Amino acid sequence: MTGDSDAPDGREATAAAVDRPGRRRLGQVLLLALRAANAAAKFALAVYMVRHLGLADVGIYGLLVGAGTAVPGILGFGVNDWTARRLVRLPRDRAAPIVVTRFGLTVAIQVVLQVVGWSLWELGAVDLSATTAGLISAILALEHLAVDDYYLEIGRERAFFANLQLFLRAGAWPPAVIVWGLLDPAARSLDMVLGGWLVGLIVTWGAIAIRGLSGGRFRHLGVDFTSLRQALRGGVPFWLADIGGSGTLYLDRYIVSGFLGLEATGVYTFFWSFANVVHTLSVNGIVQPQVPRLIAAERERDPAGFVAERDRLTRESATWAVVLALGAGGALPLLLPWFGRSLLAENLAIFWVILLATLARIAYDGLGFVLYALHRDRAIAATALVAVVATAGADLVAVPTVGLTGAAGAYLLVGVGLFLVRRRLVATELDRRRSAAGQ
């Protein structure tokens, strides 16, 4: 679990936060290596599915991946963001009950969700086999809890373990599924892919349990309903932002599916996933692990110091984003012939637009973390909700009109717009704080 810090009183955590460029860069390389291995495994899975399962299965899998992200966002009520910020530099004995109570909320939510889902299946409203429905049910439940743990690990400044558990549940199992499928044609099915995903989640939760209960950490377990009530109230803006963010990222593929069919959805999802590697490595590998530093800088009430920390993080993330985007842009055209799918080559121009949109997304997500550290929670929610409305409107007009090009163009347009709005919000807030501090 995450209710633990290697420093029970918080002193070592504070010392560890001292800026050591060499150590920080080594940490970034290790995190990027984990993220890169994760991305490579998911990319290999995408290639395998395109070649051996078909674009329709890729489309279905893409919809499930979207649901796996949307369920924690919509049914998490924003509690993870509020709680993770609360856990920064908090002593172990105070953090553990907060974490346990947070997990308890998700378990209760999942019990209700599972009852509703299986009731719909029994009534015939869900057209899936019992095996597929069971796999999806278990995956969505364990993914929901694992997403909670990831956020809380980041709040406890344990970015490496957070990314390790992410690798176990998302990157460690695809190679096994791929090798099995290549050796045994009978194993080339969507259910086998889902089964591998579930095994990865089970292993992940074994690692989390060992990490959370070993070394006497179980003695600090408890409940903190006061913190939960505060998180439910304070999490509302984050909940709205999560809903908006999930809609902005995944609504387009559902609209593409509705207007253009599953094969077109598979094409779009494939290009989106390839470009998303750049976002994952830049934001989750570089920016997010250092957000606790921004939060700690904000608590010092020194606007100049906060700006210096923000500028350093911006330079690092921008450098990595450009380098990774150039690598992705150069690699995909060389790899396309291996996929054996003419639709991908015919629609390569879509990828370039999606890649540009991904760079815009990296920029506005970075500004979102700055607003988060500045406690501008309502601004995060407002911009995210406006973005999902803009996404829906743009896609509903563009997709029926110009197809996949319209979906990619809408993605880019919304991303640039959200970046400009958030940049202005950050500048306004920092100007206000400088004035108040007399700087």
Q: State the amino acid at position 343 in one-letter form.
A: L
Q: Tokens 């700055």 belong to which residue?
A: 370
Tokens at residue 295, please? 């939060």
How much is the pLDDT for 173?
Answer: 95
The helix-helix angle for 225-234 and 236-260 (nearest 10°) equals 60
In angstroms, what is the C-alpha Rg of the chain? 22
Q: What is the pLDDT of residues 281-290, one digit of tens each?
A: 888 888 888 8
Kindly report the backbone phi and psi dihedral angles of residue 125, in degrees, each rounded to the nearest multiple of 5, phi listed first.
-75, -20
Residue 126 CB neighbours (<10 A): 14
How much is the pLDDT for 20?
Answer: 61
How much is the pLDDT for 29?
Answer: 77
The helix-helix angle for 348-373 and 291-299 (nearest 10°) equals 30
Q: Tokens 């920064």 belong to which residue?
A: 88
Name the residue ranges covered by the structural domains of the chain.
Answer: 1-27+53-234, 235-439
Say which DSSP state 126 is in: S
Non-local CB neighbours of 27 within 8 Å, separated by 6+ positions: 159, 160, 289
DSSP helix/strand/coil, 127? coil
How much is the pLDDT for 24?
Answer: 66
Whole-prediction pTM? 0.73
Taking Cα atoms as reference points, which of 246, 249, 324, 247 lies closest to residue 285? 324
Say which DSSP state 139 is in: H
Tokens at residue 91, please? 């002593």
Say which DSSP state 163 is in: H
Phi and psi based region of residue 19 (left: phi greater than 0; alpha: psi -120 to 50; beta: remaining) = beta
The helix-helix angle for 303-339 and 291-299 (nearest 10°) equals 170
Q: State the amino acid at position 188 in one-letter form.
A: R
What number of H helices and E strands is found in the chain? 18, 0
Q: Are 65 and 276 in contact (CB under 8 A)?
A: no
Non-local CB neighbours of 417 within 8 Å, separated by 6+ positions: 387, 390
d(CA 234, CA 227): 10
How much is the pLDDT for 18?
Answer: 44
Non-local CB neighbours of 219 within 8 Å, separated by 6+ positions: none
Tokens at residue 37, please? 């291995």
| Helices (H), ranges, 214-302 | 225-234, 236-260, 262-279, 291-299
Tokens at residue 87, please? 């856990």
d(CA 130, CA 136): 10
pLDDT < 50: residue spans in the chain = 1-18
Burial of 161 (0-12, 13-18, 19+ CB in 10 A): middle
Residue 43 CB neighbours (<10 A): 17
Taking Cα atoms as reference points, which of 247, 229, 238 lies closest to residue 376? 238
The helix (H) or strand (E) run that includes residue 418 is helix 404-437
